[in-house]
Amino acid sequence: MTSNAIRSAKLSLSALVLAAPLFAGFGSTAWADSPDREISAAEYETFLQDKFGLSLSASPTKGEFIAALAQALGLKRQGDAFPFRDLTADSPYAEAAQALYEQGVLTSDTVSASAPLGSVNAVQIALKAAGLKELAYTYPAAKTDAALAKLGIRAAALGERGAEEVAAAVDSGLLAPSFYADVRPGAAASRDLAEWLIGQVLSFQGQYKHYLGYASDPDIYAKLTDAYRTSDIIQAPELQKIVDAALEQNEITGYNLKDSRFEPDFVESLTLVYGHSDLTHALQLIGLLRSEGIDAKVQFEPKTSAFVYLKEWGDPGVSDQYVVKQIANGNYIEYAKEYDIAFEFGSAADKERFDSIVKAYAKKDEENEPGLIAESWWQPLYYSRTELPGYKLITNNKISGDGPYYAQSFSLKEQSPEIAAGFRSIDPTVDVEQYDFWADVPFYNYLNGESQ
């Protein structure tokens, strides 16, 4: 067996080391080739429910809105001074109001927490929470008037500062055109508007979903290619001391290094993560989904897979796709450049269809098998944090450190206590996070020792 053939087999095998992100997308319908997609209020509503358990009432109060906004942003009050005349310190809205006050989002010493949330006030609060107030205060009168004309509002009805804030919300896209008619002096904000604004604030602050685009976008192939070509083999020296020692002691057979800054933060019930190493395979996988009428959000996550390369396999050579380090027994640890692609589908049905599509067109069952996309693996790896019919339950054994980096090794559930004990025997202070998730049957079979 050649060293290249061995490496190909080991790269497939090294998926044992994966990380656990997510996917989502759109149904089996035609799509428009346009990157300019307005996120729907329903999508923000689903995200807020999934990530924070938030669901506003049909007619939210101001207190309800600021409490939800502070919770979504993860804000806590820092100081002891309590600035509000119309709230007590034990009010259910006190913590959120003070936290937003300290951030300069609320500026008055009154909150009016029980009052209906005004549509204009909601926009003004969101504008400040999104970090746009300095932009707003650069607006001359003519620029303000031009933006407010889209809403049919005169600046005099809002006051100078208020008019500038709403104008900047319009121009920046914080307020979507679909809500222009809802924003009026004296009008109450609807749940859709309030949840939209919270979602937009999260997006402006980098706390919403992260993705390259949709499978249906005309530029998705260029974006995916750029992401792959600019990704590097991850190095996290302090973290690797632990997992490399675990490899040398046969506590694990492989691990992955990943960077948490690339996590998509998708809705888990709609998400799958697919791991591989070859760029052409990734591009063809996107094309395969399109050919099957499936759209999905696409996020590229750089990944490095590590495994033991035996000395009897010969000189590992040199490549920009991997690096090696020789260990005490003469073997090597190989660190290979790989990736995960997280997909978020638009429906649970499309997420379920993915398995049959991969098995038909991206899983090798014999050498030189025709009718498969490029570089298909014997045992492909894709997984979900929520249960799927036909998938198998396995466990992720994860340790974090070195800033945004973390290492993880996948295992059968019954093996996970031994793996955690092995990590702790190397470093008693290490915090091992373990959680169950659902993987495709071929990868489960691989964990049971089946290479093909």
Q: What is the pLDDT of residues 65-75, one digit of tens each?
A: 999 999 999 99
How does pLDDT run across 34-53, given as a tens digit for each residue?
A: 445 789 999 999 999 999 99
Residues 237 and 178 in one domain: no
- Whether 452 is covered by a domain: the verdict is no
Higher per-residue confidence, 404 vs 402:
404
Residue with tokens 């590590």: 306
Determine the Cα–Cα distance for residues 444 and 285; give it in Å rounded to an integer.
21
**Residue 84 domain-assigned?**
yes
Average pLDDT value for residue range 254-277: 98
Query: pLDDT tens for residues 206-253?
Result: 999 999 999 999 999 999 999 999 999 999 999 999 999 999 999 999
Neighbouring residues of 412: CB distance < 8 A, sequence distance ≥ 6: 394, 395, 447, 448
Structural domain span for residue 341 = 3-25+215-447
Is residue 3 pLDDT above 50, yes or no? no
* pLDDT exceeds cutoff 90 at 23: no
Q: Let me know whether 192 and 307 are in one domain.
A: no
Q: Tell me the pLDDT tens digit for each residue of 337-393.
A: 999 999 999 999 999 999 999 999 999 999 999 999 999 999 999 999 999 999 999
Residue 316 has pLDDT above 80, yes or no: yes
Cα angle: 19, vertex 6, 360; to 5 degrees: 60
Start-end of H helices in 106-229: 119-129, 133-136, 141-149, 160-172, 191-204, 220-229
Given a cut of 60, is residue 6 above it in pLDDT?
no
Structural domain contains residue 36:
no
Last residue of a domain, one of 159, 175, 204: 204
Do 16 and 134 lie in a common domain?
Answer: no
Whether 294 and 169 map to the same domain: the answer is no
**In-domain check, residue 119:** yes
Query: Across residues 408-437, what is the average pLDDT?
Result: 97
Is residue 190 domain-resident? yes
The number of distinct structural domains making up the chain is 2
Q: What is the pLDDT of residue 36?
A: 57
Residue 327 and residue 239 in one domain: yes
Tell whether 219 and 191 lie within a shared domain. Answer: no
Cα gap 232→241, rounded to integer Å: 19
**11 confidence band (pLDDT: 50, 70, 90):** very low
